[in-house]
Homo-oligomer: A and B are copies of this chain.
Amino acid sequence: MTMMKFSVTILGSNSAIPAPGRNPTAQVVNIHDRLFLVDCAEGTQLQMRRFKVHALRINHVFISHLHGDHFFGLIGLISTYNLLERRTPLHIYAPQALEEVLHLQLGVAGTQLVYTLYFHPVDPSLHRVIFEDEVVTVETFPVVHRIPTCGFLFRERDRPRNIRKDFLDKEHPSFDAIRQIKAGDDYTNPSGKLYLNEAITFTRHEPAAYAYCTDTAYHEPLADYVKGADLLYHEATFMDSEAGTAEAKYHATAMQAATIALKAGVKRLILGHFSSRYDDLQPLLDEARSIFPESYIAMDGDIFKIR
Protein backbone atom coordinates (compact mmCIF):
# COMPACT_ATOMS: atom_id res chain seq x y z
CA MET A 1 0.00 0.00 0.00
CA THR A 2 1.44 3.39 -0.97
CA MET A 3 1.73 6.03 1.70
CA MET A 4 -1.08 8.51 1.39
CA LYS A 5 0.12 12.06 1.83
CA PHE A 6 -1.90 14.94 3.14
CA SER A 7 0.14 18.04 3.87
CA VAL A 8 0.16 21.81 3.61
CA THR A 9 3.25 23.77 2.51
CA ILE A 10 3.27 27.44 3.47
CA LEU A 11 4.60 29.62 0.61
CA GLY A 12 3.57 32.91 2.17
CA SER A 13 2.51 33.58 5.74
CA ASN A 14 2.19 37.35 5.86
CA SER A 15 -0.50 39.90 5.18
CA ALA A 16 -0.32 42.27 2.24
CA ILE A 17 2.93 44.15 2.86
CA PRO A 18 5.79 41.66 2.64
CA ALA A 19 7.94 41.42 5.76
CA PRO A 20 11.52 40.09 5.84
CA GLY A 21 11.24 36.35 5.19
CA ARG A 22 7.45 36.49 5.11
CA ASN A 23 5.76 36.68 1.71
CA PRO A 24 2.04 37.35 1.35
CA THR A 25 -0.40 34.47 1.14
CA ALA A 26 0.01 31.27 -0.84
CA GLN A 27 0.15 27.60 0.06
CA VAL A 28 0.19 24.22 -1.58
CA VAL A 29 -2.03 21.42 -0.33
CA ASN A 30 -0.80 17.94 -1.23
CA ILE A 31 -3.50 15.29 -1.00
CA HIS A 32 -2.35 11.87 -2.14
CA ASP A 33 0.13 13.57 -4.49
CA ARG A 34 -2.43 15.87 -6.02
CA LEU A 35 -1.09 19.43 -5.60
CA PHE A 36 -3.59 22.23 -5.03
CA LEU A 37 -2.44 25.86 -4.94
CA VAL A 38 -4.44 28.01 -2.53
CA ASP A 39 -4.09 31.74 -3.17
CA CYS A 40 -1.14 33.13 -5.09
CA ALA A 41 0.45 36.38 -3.92
CA GLU A 42 3.15 38.17 -5.87
CA GLY A 43 6.35 36.15 -5.71
CA THR A 44 4.65 32.77 -5.27
CA GLN A 45 6.48 31.20 -8.22
CA LEU A 46 9.76 32.31 -6.64
CA GLN A 47 8.70 30.77 -3.32
CA MET A 48 7.92 27.49 -5.09
CA ARG A 49 11.43 27.48 -6.50
CA ARG A 50 12.89 28.27 -3.07
CA PHE A 51 10.94 25.56 -1.27
CA LYS A 52 11.24 22.90 -3.98
CA VAL A 53 7.56 22.71 -4.87
CA HIS A 54 7.23 21.20 -8.32
CA ALA A 55 5.12 23.96 -9.90
CA LEU A 56 4.24 21.99 -13.02
CA ARG A 57 2.49 19.35 -10.92
CA ILE A 58 -0.14 21.87 -9.83
CA ASN A 59 -3.30 21.50 -11.88
CA HIS A 60 -5.80 23.30 -9.69
CA VAL A 61 -5.66 26.78 -8.19
CA PHE A 62 -8.13 28.17 -5.66
CA ILE A 63 -8.34 31.92 -5.03
CA SER A 64 -10.19 33.00 -1.88
CA HIS A 65 -10.83 36.62 -2.89
CA LEU A 66 -9.57 39.39 -5.10
CA HIS A 67 -7.38 41.41 -2.80
CA GLY A 68 -4.03 41.65 -4.52
CA ASP A 69 -2.03 39.88 -1.84
CA HIS A 70 -4.01 36.74 -2.71
CA PHE A 71 -3.75 36.74 -6.52
CA PHE A 72 -1.12 39.14 -7.94
CA GLY A 73 1.28 36.23 -8.49
CA LEU A 74 -1.13 34.17 -10.58
CA ILE A 75 -0.57 35.90 -13.93
CA GLY A 76 3.19 35.42 -13.53
CA LEU A 77 2.74 31.72 -12.81
CA ILE A 78 0.39 31.32 -15.79
CA SER A 79 2.95 33.08 -18.00
CA THR A 80 5.86 31.02 -16.73
CA TYR A 81 3.90 27.82 -17.37
CA ASN A 82 3.53 29.03 -20.94
CA LEU A 83 7.25 29.65 -21.36
CA LEU A 84 7.92 26.21 -19.88
CA GLU A 85 5.54 24.82 -22.53
CA ARG A 86 3.16 23.26 -20.08
CA ARG A 87 0.73 20.87 -21.78
CA THR A 88 -1.59 19.85 -18.93
CA PRO A 89 -4.70 22.01 -18.55
CA LEU A 90 -4.78 24.37 -15.58
CA HIS A 91 -8.00 24.85 -13.62
CA ILE A 92 -8.62 28.08 -11.75
CA TYR A 93 -11.41 28.45 -9.20
CA ALA A 94 -11.93 32.09 -8.31
CA PRO A 95 -14.42 34.94 -8.21
CA GLN A 96 -15.65 35.68 -11.74
CA ALA A 97 -13.98 39.09 -12.09
CA LEU A 98 -10.54 37.51 -12.12
CA GLU A 99 -11.15 35.96 -15.52
CA GLU A 100 -11.19 39.35 -17.26
CA VAL A 101 -8.10 40.49 -15.35
CA LEU A 102 -6.13 37.45 -16.54
CA HIS A 103 -7.34 37.64 -20.13
CA LEU A 104 -6.63 41.35 -20.37
CA GLN A 105 -3.05 40.84 -19.17
CA LEU A 106 -2.45 37.97 -21.56
CA GLY A 107 -3.97 40.11 -24.30
CA VAL A 108 -1.77 43.18 -23.84
CA ALA A 109 1.31 40.92 -23.85
CA GLY A 110 0.15 39.25 -27.06
CA THR A 111 0.39 35.87 -25.28
CA GLN A 112 -1.23 32.79 -26.81
CA LEU A 113 -1.31 30.06 -24.20
CA VAL A 114 0.01 26.71 -25.37
CA TYR A 115 -2.06 24.91 -22.71
CA THR A 116 -5.73 25.14 -21.81
CA LEU A 117 -6.79 27.41 -18.97
CA TYR A 118 -10.17 26.50 -17.50
CA PHE A 119 -11.71 29.24 -15.43
CA HIS A 120 -14.36 28.06 -12.95
CA PRO A 121 -16.18 31.03 -11.44
CA VAL A 122 -16.79 30.68 -7.72
CA ASP A 123 -19.51 32.48 -5.79
CA PRO A 124 -17.82 33.10 -2.42
CA SER A 125 -21.19 33.55 -0.70
CA LEU A 126 -22.12 29.88 -1.16
CA HIS A 127 -21.38 26.75 0.84
CA ARG A 128 -20.91 24.11 -1.82
CA VAL A 129 -18.62 21.51 -3.31
CA ILE A 130 -16.68 23.14 -6.16
CA PHE A 131 -14.32 20.28 -6.97
CA GLU A 132 -14.29 16.54 -6.54
CA ASP A 133 -12.39 13.63 -7.90
CA GLU A 134 -11.99 10.06 -6.66
CA VAL A 135 -10.03 10.97 -3.54
CA VAL A 136 -10.85 14.53 -2.53
CA THR A 137 -13.61 17.10 -2.39
CA VAL A 138 -13.14 20.84 -2.07
CA GLU A 139 -15.89 22.95 -0.56
CA THR A 140 -16.27 26.69 -0.34
CA PHE A 141 -17.92 28.42 2.58
CA PRO A 142 -18.51 32.15 3.09
CA VAL A 143 -16.25 34.09 5.43
CA VAL A 144 -16.58 37.75 6.40
CA HIS A 145 -14.29 40.28 4.74
CA ARG A 146 -14.43 43.68 3.02
CA ILE A 147 -15.04 42.05 -0.36
CA PRO A 148 -16.69 38.68 -1.09
CA THR A 149 -14.35 35.99 0.23
CA CYS A 150 -14.64 32.27 0.82
CA GLY A 151 -12.85 29.67 2.85
CA PHE A 152 -11.96 26.25 1.48
CA LEU A 153 -12.37 22.82 3.01
CA PHE A 154 -10.26 20.02 1.55
CA ARG A 155 -11.68 16.68 2.57
CA GLU A 156 -10.59 13.16 1.71
CA ARG A 157 -13.44 11.11 0.36
CA ASP A 158 -14.52 7.97 2.13
CA ARG A 159 -12.31 5.22 0.85
CA PRO A 160 -13.59 1.69 0.03
CA ARG A 161 -13.73 -0.29 3.25
CA ASN A 162 -11.56 -3.32 3.92
CA ILE A 163 -13.31 -6.66 4.54
CA ARG A 164 -12.47 -8.68 7.64
CA LYS A 165 -10.48 -11.83 6.93
CA ASP A 166 -12.54 -14.08 9.26
CA PHE A 167 -15.71 -13.18 7.33
CA LEU A 168 -14.04 -13.87 3.94
CA ASP A 169 -12.73 -17.23 5.17
CA LYS A 170 -16.16 -18.26 6.42
CA GLU A 171 -18.50 -16.99 3.68
CA HIS A 172 -16.36 -16.83 0.49
CA PRO A 173 -18.51 -14.02 -1.03
CA SER A 174 -18.49 -13.54 -4.83
CA PHE A 175 -16.41 -10.78 -6.47
CA ASP A 176 -19.56 -8.74 -7.04
CA ALA A 177 -20.54 -9.10 -3.40
CA ILE A 178 -17.03 -8.04 -2.29
CA ARG A 179 -17.27 -4.89 -4.40
CA GLN A 180 -20.65 -4.04 -2.87
CA ILE A 181 -19.45 -4.69 0.68
CA LYS A 182 -16.40 -2.45 0.10
CA ALA A 183 -18.77 0.27 -1.11
CA GLY A 184 -20.66 -0.04 2.21
CA ASP A 185 -23.45 -2.56 1.57
CA ASP A 186 -24.57 -5.16 4.07
CA TYR A 187 -24.31 -8.82 3.02
CA THR A 188 -26.87 -11.60 3.10
CA ASN A 189 -25.52 -15.10 2.58
CA PRO A 190 -27.29 -17.78 0.44
CA SER A 191 -29.02 -19.18 3.54
CA GLY A 192 -30.44 -15.73 4.36
CA LYS A 193 -28.14 -14.67 7.18
CA LEU A 194 -27.64 -10.89 7.31
CA TYR A 195 -24.22 -9.37 8.10
CA LEU A 196 -24.25 -5.63 8.81
CA ASN A 197 -21.49 -3.82 6.93
CA GLU A 198 -19.82 -2.41 10.03
CA ALA A 199 -19.55 -5.91 11.48
CA ILE A 200 -17.58 -7.32 8.56
CA THR A 201 -15.48 -4.35 7.44
CA PHE A 202 -13.00 -1.83 8.83
CA THR A 203 -11.16 1.28 7.57
CA ARG A 204 -7.49 2.00 7.97
CA HIS A 205 -8.32 5.61 8.77
CA GLU A 206 -11.11 8.12 8.78
CA PRO A 207 -11.13 10.72 5.98
CA ALA A 208 -9.06 13.72 6.99
CA ALA A 209 -9.93 17.36 6.37
CA TYR A 210 -8.02 20.64 6.06
CA ALA A 211 -9.80 23.99 6.39
CA TYR A 212 -8.53 27.37 5.16
CA CYS A 213 -10.03 30.63 6.47
CA THR A 214 -8.38 33.86 5.32
CA ASP A 215 -9.09 36.74 5.10
CA THR A 216 -11.91 36.97 7.61
CA ALA A 217 -13.22 38.80 10.62
CA TYR A 218 -14.08 36.75 13.69
CA HIS A 219 -17.25 34.92 12.72
CA GLU A 220 -18.61 32.20 14.98
CA PRO A 221 -20.51 30.28 12.27
CA LEU A 222 -17.13 29.41 10.72
CA ALA A 223 -16.75 26.86 13.51
CA ASP A 224 -19.61 24.87 11.98
CA TYR A 225 -18.11 24.87 8.49
CA VAL A 226 -14.74 23.58 9.71
CA LYS A 227 -16.04 21.34 12.50
CA GLY A 228 -13.71 18.49 13.39
CA ALA A 229 -11.08 19.31 10.77
CA ASP A 230 -7.69 17.73 11.35
CA LEU A 231 -6.01 21.02 10.56
CA LEU A 232 -7.35 24.57 10.41
CA TYR A 233 -5.50 27.54 8.93
CA HIS A 234 -7.13 30.67 10.32
CA GLU A 235 -5.86 34.17 9.81
CA ALA A 236 -4.47 35.96 12.86
CA THR A 237 -3.48 39.32 11.47
CA PHE A 238 -3.39 41.00 14.88
CA MET A 239 -2.98 40.47 18.61
CA ASP A 240 -6.13 40.67 20.68
CA SER A 241 -4.95 44.06 21.97
CA GLU A 242 -5.68 45.27 18.43
CA ALA A 243 -9.13 43.68 18.29
CA GLY A 244 -10.68 47.02 17.35
CA THR A 245 -8.36 47.44 14.38
CA ALA A 246 -9.00 43.83 13.39
CA GLU A 247 -12.74 44.34 13.45
CA ALA A 248 -12.53 47.59 11.49
CA LYS A 249 -10.42 45.92 8.79
CA TYR A 250 -12.42 42.67 8.78
CA HIS A 251 -9.47 40.70 10.06
CA ALA A 252 -9.10 38.44 13.10
CA THR A 253 -6.81 38.20 16.13
CA ALA A 254 -4.79 35.23 17.32
CA MET A 255 -7.22 34.83 20.21
CA GLN A 256 -10.18 34.82 17.85
CA ALA A 257 -8.54 32.23 15.59
CA ALA A 258 -7.98 30.02 18.63
CA THR A 259 -11.60 30.52 19.70
CA ILE A 260 -12.85 29.25 16.33
CA ALA A 261 -10.46 26.29 16.58
CA LEU A 262 -11.78 25.49 20.05
CA LYS A 263 -15.44 25.78 19.11
CA ALA A 264 -14.91 23.71 15.98
CA GLY A 265 -13.05 20.97 17.84
CA VAL A 266 -10.28 20.83 15.23
CA LYS A 267 -7.14 18.89 16.03
CA ARG A 268 -4.56 21.58 15.18
CA LEU A 269 -4.58 25.27 14.30
CA ILE A 270 -2.15 27.19 12.08
CA LEU A 271 -2.02 30.95 12.56
CA GLY A 272 -1.12 33.09 9.54
CA HIS A 273 -1.58 36.32 7.55
CA PHE A 274 0.38 38.31 10.08
CA SER A 275 0.55 42.08 10.10
CA SER A 276 3.99 43.39 9.13
CA ARG A 277 4.00 45.33 12.40
CA TYR A 278 4.96 42.11 14.21
CA ASP A 279 8.63 41.20 13.91
CA ASP A 280 8.29 38.64 16.69
CA LEU A 281 5.35 36.26 16.30
CA GLN A 282 5.78 34.44 19.61
CA PRO A 283 3.25 36.69 21.43
CA LEU A 284 0.59 35.77 18.86
CA LEU A 285 1.37 32.09 19.39
CA ASP A 286 1.29 32.46 23.18
CA GLU A 287 -2.06 34.21 22.95
CA ALA A 288 -3.59 31.44 20.83
CA ARG A 289 -2.11 28.66 22.97
CA SER A 290 -3.55 30.20 26.12
CA ILE A 291 -6.90 28.79 25.02
CA PHE A 292 -5.98 26.31 22.26
CA PRO A 293 -2.65 24.56 22.97
CA GLU A 294 -2.39 22.87 19.57
CA SER A 295 -1.70 26.17 17.82
CA TYR A 296 1.23 26.75 15.48
CA ILE A 297 2.74 29.70 13.61
CA ALA A 298 2.89 29.52 9.80
CA MET A 299 6.37 30.34 8.53
CA ASP A 300 7.31 30.45 4.85
CA GLY A 301 8.59 27.02 3.92
CA ASP A 302 6.85 25.17 6.78
CA ILE A 303 5.19 21.87 5.96
CA PHE A 304 2.26 20.78 8.14
CA LYS A 305 1.55 17.08 7.80
CA ILE A 306 -1.91 15.67 8.37
CA ARG A 307 -0.76 12.19 7.36
**How many residues in A have their beta carbons less than 8 Å from beta carbons of B?**
35
The minimal Cβ–Cβ distance linking A239 to chain B, given in whole angstroms, is 19
A107 nearest CB neighbor, chain B only = B97
Docked CA distance A17–B101 (Å): 21
Given A84-B17, A100-B104, answer yes or no on A109-B45 (Cβ-Cβ < 8 Å).
no
Contact of A73 (CB < 8 Å), options: B16, B42, B111: B42
Q: Does A68 contact B (CB under 8 A)?
A: yes
Question: In the complex, which residues 58-86 of chain A have their Cβ closer than 8 Å to any Cβ of chain B?
Answer: 66-69, 72-73, 75-76, 79-80, 83-84
Are B42 and A18 in contact, CB atoms less than 8 angstroms apart? Answer: no
Q: Does A190 contact B (CB under 8 A)?
A: no
A105 nearest CB neighbor, chain B only = B101
A20 nearest CB neighbor, chain B only = B49
Are B68 and A75 in contact, CB atoms less than 8 angstroms apart? Answer: yes
The minimal Cβ–Cβ distance linking A301 to chain B, given in whole angstroms, is 15
Chain A residues near B (Cβ < 8 Å): 16-18, 20, 23, 42-43, 45-46, 49, 66-69, 72-73, 75-76, 79-80, 83-84, 95, 97-98, 100-101, 104-105, 108-111, 146-147
- Interchain Cβ contacts under 8 Å between A and B, 22 examples: A17-B84, A18-B45, A18-B46, A18-B49, A42-B43, A42-B46, A66-B108, A66-B109, A67-B109, A68-B105, A68-B109, A69-B79, A72-B72, A72-B79, A72-B105, A95-B108, A98-B108, A100-B104, A101-B104, A101-B108, A110-B146, A110-B147
